[in-house]
């Protein structure tokens, strides 16, 4: 009983720390969304840096820290202190230099968290004669995304052994998530610069934006015994509002989400990134999809000043039984597929409103069992609302016929639907994002 109580206390403390980190990250994303399209380029990046440093210092219980921003060559491009900007003389010496010594140099080399319990016994700490404060313990955290080092946060405290394991873990998590904000700030700056270049440079900008859009999506579909998955997302512009994701959940469950954020461009992409982060965090806390949507709706309605909302379907698949519980927030109804026929899942009363519109909205979860050779297709409106040269819609009928024909081949189905939409649209440019998820429960092999 004592061990159980101790474990629960430790778990509660960890959840509180993670909640603080998520709230801090949320504040940062909200500021960036508000500034997208209106703030000067360097101001957007500067706020990203300042907020990252402030939040990590707050989470670790210290007011002494620094942040170095690095370019692709590992050179310092900017620096900040928790007590204000670095003075001009020091900054001029830092800009363009290489961090190759001390704790920051160790982190840059190893791309890992550097923790010093006592600076007097750790050779990685370099004390400077002109330091205005005493340092006995230090923590350096790399800001990394997709194996790219964006910067290094160094936090310091006058007492030894200040940075306990739980603080190290939560600061590392916060820094990892906030790397996305810095990446988005860099993308925004880059897109503004390329906007004034020639046509060839604009094309490179579009390619870069598509790569960043793809980075929000899973790198691969889940590999689950007895199931086969296929997914694709194709934005209409450089960045879009469609997204999909998979979440590994306890007790042999898999979370599956697909959604469409209102609007396009950088603001929709930031909104999508923040929503994906919220969804990933809260999906592990709510076993009922309806309760999860209620929580997400409360969060999104609190950002109503953005005027943005999202349609979404979220499913929890029990991989050992094939049972699926799911909720629909204003999204297109999924298709239930088998060789003998295809029909839409869910009655009209099962569909609730989009997330982020009505504060008191409620959703009801539905259940379905995927038997062997039965599948589900999730899709966004860019599929059925694609138009040809005479403004005819692609429609649900064409989608259903392809789904029935390739019901037992998810990967082929996704390719064939995408190809059919492109052939149907012909010379018409793609006006909306196209996103698909196909899931099939396979027949057990003898």
141-159 CB burial, b ≥16 within 10 A, e <16: bbbbbeeebbbbbbbbbee
Average pLDDT score over residue span 93-111: 76
Lowest mean pLDDT among 59-68, 180-189, 201-210, 398-407: 201-210
Residues 6+ apart with CB under 8 A from 291: none
Beta strands 434-441; 253-261: pairing state = unpaired
Over 60: is that where the pLDDT of 91 sits? no
In this structure, are residues 441 and 373 in contact, taking their beta carbons and an 8 Å threshold?
A: yes
Q: What is the pLDDT of residue 37?
A: 47
Q: What is the pLDDT of residue 44?
A: 60
| Cα–Cα distance measured from residue 364 to residue 327, given in angstroms and rounded to the nearest whole number | 6
What does the DSSP assignment read for 302-338?
TTGGG---EEEEEEEEETTT-EEEEEEESPPPPEEEE
Surface-to-core class of residue 239, CB atoms within 10 Å of its CB (0-12 exposed, 13-18 middle, 19+ buried): buried
- How does pLDDT run across 25-53, given as a tens digit for each residue? 565 555 555 544 444 455 666 666 777 77
- How does pLDDT run across 131-190, given as a tens digit for each residue? 667 889 999 989 888 788 888 888 889 999 998 887 787 777 767 766 776 777 667 666
| Cα–Cα distance measured from residue 291 to residue 267, given in angstroms and rounded to the nearest whole number | 27
Q: What is the pLDDT of residue 95?
A: 53
Phi/psi of residue 257, nearest 5 degrees: -130, 145
Higher pLDDT, 227 or 81: 227
| Cα–Cα distance measured from residue 175 to residue 153, given in angstroms and rounded to the nearest whole number | 8
Average pLDDT score over residue span 239-248: 83
Q: Going from the N-terminus, what domains does the chain have, and what CATH number goes with each?
A: 13-192 (3.30.450.40), 218-441 (3.60.40.10)
Could you tell me which of 181, 152, 174, 142 has the C-alpha nearest to residue 60? Answer: 174
Q: What is the pLDDT of residue 349?
A: 56
Q: What is the pLDDT of residue 234?
A: 82
Residues 6+ apart with CB under 8 A from 54: 82
In this structure, are residues 113 and 105 in contact, taking their beta carbons and an 8 Å threshold?
A: no
| Cα–Cα distance measured from residue 233 to residue 219, given in angstroms and rounded to the nearest whole number | 12
- How does pLDDT run across 189-227, given as a tens digit for each residue? 667 665 665 556 556 655 655 565 566 678 789 999 999
For residue 342, give the 3-state DSSP assignment: strand
DSSP type of residue 72 = T
Residues 6+ apart with CB under 8 A from 206: 238
Could you tell me which of 7, 434, 28 has the C-alpha nearest to residue 234? Answer: 434
Lowest mean pLDDT among 241-255, 258-272, 331-345: 258-272
Average pLDDT score over residue span 94-99: 59
123-135 CB burial, b ≥16 within 10 A, e <16: ebbeeeeeeeeeb
Q: What is the pLDDT of residue 238?
A: 56
Phi/psi of residue 155, nearest 5 degrees: -115, 140
Angle at 362 between CA 359 and CA 364, to 5 degrees: 160
Average pLDDT score over residue span 68-75: 80
Computed over its alpha carbons, how large is the radius of gyration of the chain?
Answer: 24
What does the DSSP assignment read for 235-281?
-SSSS-SEEEEEEEETTTEEEEEEEEESS-HHHHHHHHHHHHHHHHH
Could you tell me which of 334, 325, 317, 335 has the C-alpha nearest to residue 367? Answer: 325
| Cα–Cα distance measured from residue 210 to residue 218, given in angstroms and rounded to the nearest whole number | 14
User: Any idea of the CA torsion for 420, 425, 426, 430, to the nearest 10 degrees?
Assistant: -110
| Cα–Cα distance measured from residue 105 to residue 368, given in angstroms and rounded to the nearest whole number | 54
């Amino acid at each position: 009983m004592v061990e159980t109580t101790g474990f629960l206390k430790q778990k509660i403390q960890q959840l509180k720390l993670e909640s603080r980190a998520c709230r801090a990250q949320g504040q940062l994303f909200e500021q960036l969304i508000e500034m997208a399209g209106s703030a000067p380029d360097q101001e957007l990046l500067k706020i990203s840096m300042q907020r990252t440093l402030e939040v990590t210092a707050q989470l670790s219980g210290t007011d002494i820290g620094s942040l170095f921003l690095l370019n692709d060559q590992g050179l310092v491009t900017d620096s900040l202190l928790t007590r204000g900007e670095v003075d001009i003389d020091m900054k001029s010496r830092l800009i363009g230099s290489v961090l190759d010594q001390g704790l920051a140099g160790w982190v840059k080399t190893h791309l890992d968290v550097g923790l010093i319990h006592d600076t007097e016994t750790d050779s990685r700490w370099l004390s400077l004669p002109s330091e205005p404060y005493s340092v006995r313990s230090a923590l350096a955290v790399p800001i990394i995304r997709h194996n790219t080092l964006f910067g290094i946060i160094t936090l310091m405290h006058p007492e030894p052994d200040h940075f306990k394991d739980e603080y190290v873990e939560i600061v590392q998590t916060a820094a990892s998530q906030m790397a996305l904000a810095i990446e988005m700030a860099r993308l925004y700056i880059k897109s503004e610069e390329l906007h004034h270049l020639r046509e060839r440079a604009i094309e490179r900008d579009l390619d870069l934006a598509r790569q960043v859009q793809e980075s929000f999506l899973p790198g691969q579909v889940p590999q689950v015994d007895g199931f086969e998955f296929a997914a694709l997302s194709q934005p209409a512009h450089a960045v879009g509002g469609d997204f999909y994701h998979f979440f590994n959940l306890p007790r042999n469950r898999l979370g599956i989400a697909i959604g469409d954020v209102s609007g396009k461009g950088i603001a929709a992409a930031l909104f999508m990134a923040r929503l994906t982060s919220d969804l990933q965090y809260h999906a592990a806390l709510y076993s009922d999809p309806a309760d999860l949507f209620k929580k997400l709706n409360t969060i999104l309605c609190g950002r109503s000043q953005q005027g943005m909302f999202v349609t979404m379907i979220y499913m929890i698949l029990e991989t050992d039984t094939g049972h699926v519980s799911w909720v629909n927030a204003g999204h297109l109804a999924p298709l239930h597929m088998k060789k003998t026929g295809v029909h839409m899942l869910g009655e009209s009363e099962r569909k609730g409103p989009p997330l982020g519109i009505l504060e008191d909205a409620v959703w009801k979860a539905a259940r379905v069992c995927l038997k062997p050779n039965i599948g589900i297709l999730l899709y966004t409106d860019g599929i059925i609302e694609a138009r040809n040269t005479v403004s005819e819609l692609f429609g649900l009928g064409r989608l259903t016929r392809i789904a029935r024909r390739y019901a037992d081949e998810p990967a082929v189905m996704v390719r064939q639907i995408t190809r059919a939409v492109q052939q149907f649209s012909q010379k018409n440019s793609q006006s909306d994002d196209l996103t698909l998820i196909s899931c099939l429960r396979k027949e057990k092999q003898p």
